[in-house]
Amino acid sequence: MSDAASYSVRDGIAVITMNNPPVNGLGSVLRPGIMDGIKKAGADPAVKALVIIGSVKAFSGGADIREFNTPKMNVLPSLPEINDAQDACPKPMIAAIGGFALGGGLELALGCHYRVALPKSLLGLPEVKLGLLPGSGGTQRLPRVVGAAQAVQMMTTGNPIPAEKALQLGLVDEIVQGDLLEGAIAFAKKAQAPKRIRDMTVKVDGDPKQFFEKARAEVGKAARGFPAPLEIVACVEAAVGKPFDEGRKEERQRFAKLVEGNESKALRHMFFAERQTTKIPDVPEDTKAREIKSAAVIGAGTMGGGIAMNFANAGIPVTIMDMTQEAVDKGVAKIKANYASTVSKGRLKQEAMDKCMALIKPVTTLEAGKDADIVIEAVFERMDVKKDMFRKLDAVMKPGAILATNTSTLDVNEIANVTKRPQDVIGTHFFSPANVMRLLEVVRGAKTANDVLATTMKLGKTIKKVPVVSGVCDGFIGNRMVEKYGQQSLFLLDEGCSPQQVDAAAYKWGMAMGPLAMGDMAGLDIGWEIRKRRTIERPDFIYSKVGDKIAELGRYGQKTGKGWYKYNLPDRKPIPDPEVEKIIADYRKEKNIQTRQISDEEIVERLIYALVNEAAYILEEGIALRASDIDMVYLTGYGFPAYRGGPMFYADTVGLKNVLNSILKFQAGYQGAVWKPAPLLVKLANEGRKFND
């Protein structure tokens, strides 16, 4: 037998132990071992039953991701072949589930005749998260055990369920309180005969036709064009209406279709892109990181509070400082309310909240945080204020501390250069709400030391962010691109669209929300301030003044109850507002703009290609390290639909030549002068290449 799967026999019970760390991925070394064990146990008259077990931490996490896209994936036996052998085995087979059984791991467990689990184990089929469906019988076996409704729920969300729930549903036959192997062997001794899931029928609540109509409507609405969830519903329907082998065949066909589709490719791209962001070509992986055992945050406003929560959540003590006791108290009260709301929703235990609050220390002097290993400044967005603060931090903070700024637009080099230790200065650009949003742009200054960068990237992971390196430029990666997106959204209004038409087209395409609703959420005063600055800094900056007309009326978005929409606060649902229509119509008249009907397709192309073109400049300038980093910025910070893989991946799927041709067409249209195709885009398009080559 292979090292990855050991075989032993105890009291007439064969035990196959999977040992393929870290998650017992069902890779090319493990599959043959499992198969051998099943065959051996089946053939040995001294064996009465068999147990398949992993470690206490992991039964199996499913396919071995290290073998994705390699020939090893095709090494025989395949998981379906193992499942067939499980079905054919004449002796009861028990899966002993410690930790988790996910994806192919749960399909292996479903191939067993019984399942026992530890109280804390999790069971799930998360394939939908990669745009796929469980392809080794999962869609046929799970419904036979838990019923159609639960199976649809589990497989279309991809969320795992705890052992206790699995027990109620019959997915687990027994929860083992003590030693897992002992419990599994005891269970195996009692098990009389194999109970094959393939021989069972699926329970459906009510009339199957009505059930699936309803399921399709519900799942389809939530999926918004993303195909995998509906394919899963179809497979469950096959499990109900067709014999097992036919259902399996249908599952295989639908799986193959999804694997080839752009959506699944996009999600797999995202999966790998996330693992790439911390790889920095000129910073060796073994660069010794500095130790971060404590942190300090300066400014207890919107961002400072959220940033402090990240540290507390990770168990890192943090001081939070503001100018007055009142300001810091207000900030801490907000943090407390934030945690309390999570507790009230049952998503956090009171003790966990108390622990976090105990780690956050409100202070009113910089000295109080001087021993912190990292300080993150989140004060007002003004260069003079930031410089003043960094001079003070330079004087106060202990040697070796990392001095970070949360600026969203200012020049990190200019800030670093007021200190005597620019090598220790870095940008950490969190996104609002900072305790929720996963993106962290890590801004590398010209003099930032390698170990400071490596430490900050590592810290980003520790506080559960997706850290992406950005060079210094106005807006860094994300906001620099979003400016072009916002610019197009306003030009579309000029030309005849309503805010709701633009937003609906973007939403339908998959964005979490449209650009104008997003503006209302972020605050229209912020963009207005930036535009005022831009007109001074970049006199050639072209933009529609229609946004200013809205902001000038004090319509700052959700915070004032009016923006591009009106709001019945505290309800944040945008309501179309005839006043806005009039402002836009007046503006068109004032500028003598000819309006026209604009298709949803054109709206989406103009918005998304504006992002793509700016991203190409960013990539070419070396502001982003790689195209997939830009994708991660948009996927984790800007509500870009995961199944489209990010702007660069999406452009690749459309074909860069097609993207370029559209841009050239837009050049001839309204405000066409803003469309300057990035040289990198032109080059790659002409060479028939991709951004993510």
Using CB under 6 A, list all residues that contact ligand NAD. Answer: 298-304, 321-323, 327, 378-381, 385, 389, 406-408, 430-432
The strand pairing partners of 469, in sequence order, are: 442
Place of tokens 């066409």: 672
- In angstroms, the CA 187 to CA 178 distance is 13
The answer to whether the Cα torsion of 149, 167, 63, 27 is positive or negative is: negative
3-state DSSP assignment of residue 448: coil
Residue 32: is it exposed, middle or buried by C-beta count within 10 angstroms (0-12/13-18/19+)? Answer: middle
Provide the angle, in degrees to the nearest 10, between the axes of the packed helices 325-344 and 302-313: 60
Residue 423 has which token pair? Answer: 């090598």
CB of 327 to ligand NAD, least distance (A): 5
Helical packing angle, 148-157 and 208-223, nearest 10°: 10
**CB contact at 8 A, 489 and 498:** no
Q: How far apart are CA 284 and CA 298, in angstroms?
A: 31
Cβ burial of 385 (10 Å; 0-12, 13-18, 19+) is middle
Residue 330 CB, shortest distance to ligand NAD, in Å, is 8
Quote the DSSP letter at residue 210: H
In the complex, which residue's CB is closest to ligand NAD?
Answer: 301
State the residue for tokens 């990010």. 646
Q: Which of 454, 110, 476, 124 is nearest to 290 (CA)?
A: 454
Positions marked active-site: 107, 127
Cα angle for residues 467, 468, 472 (degrees, 5° grid): 125
Q: Which lies closer to ligand NAD via its Cβ, residue 381 or residue 414?
A: 381
Measure the CA–CA gap between 649 and 18, rounded to whole angstroms: 37
Q: Phi and psi dihedrals of 404, rounded to 5?
A: -115, 145
| Whether the Cβ atoms of residue 153 and residue 215 lie closer than 8 Å to each other | no
Shortest gap between Cβ of 225 and ligand NAD (angstroms)?
Answer: 29
Report d(CA 468, CA 623) in Å as an integer: 11
Q: Which residue has the tokens 């990770």?
A: 314
* CB closer to ligand NAD, 325 vs 344: 325
Tokens of 106: 């749960």
**Shortest spacing between CB 574 and ligand NAD, in angstroms:** 19
Q: Which C-beta is closer to ligand NAD: that of 64 or that of 322?
A: 322
640 and 611 in contact (C-beta within 8 Å)?
no
For ligand NAD, which is the closer residue by CB, 405 or 613?
A: 405
Residue 180 or 459 having the CB closest to ligand NAD: 459
Minimum Å gap between C-beta 431 and ligand NAD is 6
Token pair in block for residue 500:
């709701």
Task: Quote the DSSP letter at residue 277.
Answer: T
Q: Got the DSSP string for 620-685?
A: HTTSBS-HHHHHHHHHHHS---GGGT-HHHHHHHH-HHHHHHHHHHHHTSTTGGG----HHHHHHH
**Could you write out the DSSP letters of every residue in 192-203?**
-S---GGGS---
- 146 vs 300, beta carbon nearer ligand NAD: 300
Alpha carbons 220 and 212: distance in angstroms, whole number: 11
- Cβ contact 163:122 at 8 Å: yes
User: What DSSP string describes 404-443?
Assistant: EE--SSS-HHHHHTTSS-GGGEEEEEE-SSTTT--EEEEE
Residue (106 or 303) nearer to ligand NAD, CB: 303
Q: Give 3-state DSSP helix, strand, coil % of the chain, rounded to 5.
A: 55, 10, 35
- Measured from the CB atom, is 312 or 379 closer to ligand NAD? 379
Q: What is the DSSP code string of 12-34?
A: TEEEEEE--TTTT---TTHHHHH
